[in-house]
Amino acid sequence: ADPAALGGNRNFSAAAPSIRDFREELVRVDYAFSSRHTFYTRLIFDTIPSTEPFGLFTQAAFPGISDTKTDNPGRSVVSTWNWTMTPTMTNELSYNYSRGALLSKITGPSQRDVSIPKIFSGVPGDDILPGIAFGSGNYGGFNFFGPYDNTYGSHRLKETVTRTAGAHALKGGFLYSFEFKNENSAGGTNGSFVFPGTSSSSYTSTGDALADFLLGRASSYGESRIDLTSHLRFQMYEAFVQDDWRILPNLTLNLGARWSYILQPYDADNVLTNFDPAQFDPARAYQLDNDGNRIPGTGDPLNGIVIAGQNSPYGRRVVASHANTIGPRAGFAWDPRGDGKTAIRAGYGMYFDRTLVGIALQNAFVNPPFAFTAVVNAAGPAVPTLQNPRAGAARDPEAPVPNLIAMSPGFKIPTTHQYSIGIQRELPFGFNADVAYVGTQGRNLLRALALNQTPPGTAAPLNRARPYRGWGNITFRSTEASSEYNSLQVSLFRRLQAGFQIGVNYTLSKVVTDASSDRNLPDIPQDINNLAAERALATYDRPHIFGAHYVWELPFFRNSDTLMYNLIGGWQLTGSTRIMSGLPLTITATGNTANSFGGGAPRPDLVGDPEGPRTVQQWFNTDAFKLQAANTFGNAPRSVVRGPGTFVTDLGIFKNFRATDGIRMQFRAELFNAFNHTNFVGVGTTLGLPTFGRLTSSAEARVIQFGLKLTF
């Protein structure tokens, strides 16, 4: 800490080195049984141990408390057998196995070193120090992540048969994939204390959170009963056929189809859960007290909850799998003049993809009946202490209103339609030009909804106004989102000739969607009853993107003898330039003027043109926004303003030297953001904060690095 720093206290900072090593072994074997049968296999083994003095993922305030030791091993096996069945038919059979893990354990002090008793014992993580959270005063607490065991692996078997028959190049095959993911929730069994620094009806504070901690007087203590581990298993079957049909010498037609059966994940121990609105019975909902808590014994603690292998209509899975997924493919390539200098290409394809399996894990980690945390609250003079966390009033496990994470039971497979048409032309002086229209439509895309959002104007206790009484916030992931992408893509490229190469490209595009992701708060609708208001530019939309790259080997003394080459010749200039539009920004508001709870970030009213002066102090017209009327949602759309763009040029200056045969040396000077152009990246978008409308941060300034490269 620096006593001379502003304020004289609360300024502790620390730095400690992280250690990360890497080791890899690679083995490859090739063997030809005969001229018709060949086989090869490749094995890769990685070991990446590391230590984190501030903890894995936690960024703790103090070193030596949350320390972790982590290993990141990887294994990969690829084996392929090629069989030439006839002069016109081949068969390729391959098997791929991969396995990766993130294995971390906390190596800091043990809870047993300070003799803090437990509510639950004998579970992983119960020997870790408890978490310490300060509610006020800007104090750094203790937080932990671990022990953590996240292992992913896959087995893939693929066979492809290829046959040439006249003008047809036929191909067909299948793919079977079996994947697994084992992961624990990594937290909570060590317990956590809260020192708020403020008083309440049941807790008397000193007025300072750190003083409360030094006195050992917490307002609450929580401890998880189990560090749940999920063993996910998921499979996929695919089959495909393809025909490249050369109708004419200058025209080829591409036809095909792929069938995909993507099964939803299941858990080896049946710990997956879900919330199904259709199975929620209002007659079995809890009665709530004046504080909005459940009244124990008045309702069903699993009302609407689906448990794999018990009451799930999908057996060991909790959402539906779909087998009727056939994706057609069609395209053509045409050389209108037949001289090999012009090509017109077009294509269409329909593709299916699996959603992140981690969303099923989140259900298991959060939802009852497997997730449970015991909570002890202060009750007047009886408060949880480090010596006795059980002191105080133990909260009835039925009383809290739990939050849930759920998936739509009618989960669909995300689908993408991709199509394009373009012209490529060979030009004089080694140039090639390409002009194309490229489009994509996304259907059945994943989005998050606030299923249990309260209506505007909700008064306390808010839990009484929720549609599914007895539950809190329900983050409900459904496959109802869609997107459209349309673009004009132009490029000009000159291959390396006479020591000079250049390529430039430009894209004019637009991306519209109603959900750019499935988990970011700005993408959760502010009003679940008005999803149409969420359709807007995607958060990653950039209408203009220009890029250029260039290499110039200076011709001076390039072919001279070694002495002149080393003294004067051997210079090379390289560079790249990127110019991009800024990203769309959504304006939000402080507070909760709508008095609606559980939804996405609230937006204000739009009352004018948001285009503004584009200065550092006011990037957009802040007067175009105002807080909406009480108990209403704002009418400002998402992505209503656009942030600052990007202009970056990187340059490289290289000097090559010749030594003896087979030995070369190169001096490298590299300039990143060579012209030191300021690229702002942060914009204040929250109405009501002092930073509203201001540019708040910028990307990295110019960086120059020098290097010496020896090749032998």
Classify residue 234 as exposed, middle or buried by CB count within 10 Å of its CB (0-12, 13-18, 19+): buried
Helices and strands, number each (H, E), in the chain: 3, 40
Q: Does residue 583 surpass a pLDDT of 80?
A: yes
The β-bridge relationship of strands 695-698 and 584-585 is: unpaired
Please state which of the ranges 37-46, 123-132, 214-223, 493-502 shows the lowest mean pLDDT.
123-132
Three-class DSSP labels, 658-701? ECCCCCEEEEEEEEECCCCCCCEEEECCEECCCCCCCEEEECCC
Is the per-residue pLDDT at 2 higher than 70? no
Give residue 1's pLDDT: 43
Q: Average pLDDT for residues 30-43, to the nearest whole number?
A: 97
532-566 pLDDT, tens digit each: 999 999 999 999 999 999 999 988 887 788 788 88
Residue 521 pLDDT greater than 80, yes or no: no
* The last residue of a domain, from among 77, 92, 108: 108
Average pLDDT of the segment spanning 122-138: 82
pLDDT value at residue 95: 98
Using CA atoms, how far apart are residues 366 and 368, in angstroms rounded to an integer?
7
Mean pLDDT calculated for residue range 678-686: 95
- The tokens for 636 are 């400002």
Number of structural domains (the chain) is 2
The CA distance from 559 to 662, in Å, is 17
Q: Is the pLDDT of residue 519 over 50?
A: yes
What integer is the mean pLDDT of 437-447?
A: 96
User: pLDDT value at position 137?
Assistant: 67
Mean pLDDT (whole number) for 222-234:
92
Q: What count of other Cβ atoms lies within 10 Å of the Cβ of residue 124? A: 17
What is the reported pLDDT for 591?
Answer: 87
pLDDT the model gives residue 18: 86
CB 367 within 8 A of CB 405: yes
Identify whether 172 is part of a domain: no
Beta bridge partners of 323: none
Burial class (CB in 10 A: 0-12, 13-18, 19+), 639: buried
The answer, yes or no, to whether residue 389 has pLDDT greater than 60, is yes
Contact 258, 326 (CB under 8 A): yes
pLDDT score of 56? 87
Helix H or strand E encompassing 218? none
Residues in the chain: 712
Please, what sign has the CA dihedral across residues 484, 490, 495, 496? negative
The answer to whether 276 and 409 have CB atoms below 8 angstroms apart is: yes
160 vs 174: CA distance, rounded Å: 7
C-alpha to C-alpha distance for 307 and 271, rounded to whole angstroms: 7
**In whole angstroms, what is the distance from residue 226 CA to residue 555 CA?**
70
Taking the CA atoms of the chain, what radius of gyration do you get in angstroms?
31
Whether 116 maps to a domain, the answer reads: no
Structure tokens at 239: 């089959």
pLDDT tens per residue across span 245-265: 999 999 999 999 999 999 999
- 8 A C-beta contact, residue 645 and residue 582: yes
Would you state the pLDDT for residue 631? 94
Over 70: is that where the pLDDT of 112 sits? Answer: no
Final residue of a domain: which of 81, 108, 135?
108
- Cα–Cα distance, 184 to 370 (Å, whole number): 13
Q: What six digits make up the tokens of 316?
A: 């060991």
The token pair that represents 704 in the structure block: 């120059």
Decide which of 55, 77, 108 is a domain's last residue.
Answer: 108
In degrees and rounded to multiples of 5, residue 260 shows phi and psi of: -125, 135
- Across 216-284, where does the E strand assignment appear? 220-224, 229-248, 251-262, 266-267, 273-275
The percent of residues above 90 in pLDDT, for the chain, comes to: 69
Per-residue pLDDT reduced to its tens digit, 144-201 = 888 999 999 999 999 999 999 999 999 999 999 999 999 998 878 888 999 999 998 8
Residue 271: phi and psi, rounded to 5, are: -100, 5
Write down the pLDDT at residue 117: 84
Q: What are phi and psi of 532, to 5 degrees?
A: -60, -25
pLDDT of residue 3: 45
* pLDDT score at 379: 84
| Distant-in-sequence, close-in-space partners of 214: CB < 8 Å, separation ≥ 6 | none
**Residue 672 falls within a domain, yes or no?**
yes
**Alpha-carbon separation of residue 451 from 362, 470, 524, 657 (angstroms):** 16, 13, 10, 67
Q: What digits encode the pLDDT tens for the residues 647-660?
A: 999 999 999 898 77
Q: What percent of the chain has pLDDT over 70?
A: 97
pLDDT digits (tens, 9 = 90+) for 600-640: 999 999 999 999 899 999 999 999 999 999 999 999 999 99
Per-residue model confidence (pLDDT) at position 9: 56
Tell me if 287 is assigned to some domain: no
Q: Answer yes or no: is 163 within a domain.
A: no
Instruction: Identify the pLDDT of residue 359.
Output: 87
CB 462 within 8 A of CB 469: no
In a domain, 623, yes or no: yes
Are 19 and 67 spatial neighbours (Cβ–Cβ below 8 Å)? no
What's the rounded Cα separation, in Å, for the pair 164 and 289?
A: 75
Question: Which residues, 6 or more positions from 227, have their beta carbon under 8 angstroms from its beta carbon?
Answer: 123, 124, 125, 147, 184, 185, 186, 187, 188, 189
Mean pLDDT (the chain) is 91
Q: Is 526 inside any structural domain?
A: yes
* pLDDT over 60 at 7, yes or no: no
Distance CA 219, CA 531 (A): 40
Task: Identify whether 133 is part of a domain.
Answer: no
The structure's pTM equals 0.88
- Quote the domain boundaries for residue 54: 17-108
Beta-strand ranges (E) seen in 56-166 are: 68-71, 74-86, 89-106, 131-134, 148-165
Number of Cβ within 10 Å of residue 647's Cβ equals 15
Identify the three-state secondary structure at position 382: strand
Cβ–Cβ < 8 Å for 376, 445: no
CA dist 593 → 146, 455, 589, 601 (Å): 39, 12, 9, 11
What lies within 8 Å, CB to CB, of 459 at 6+ separation is 465, 595
At 702 the pLDDT is: 96
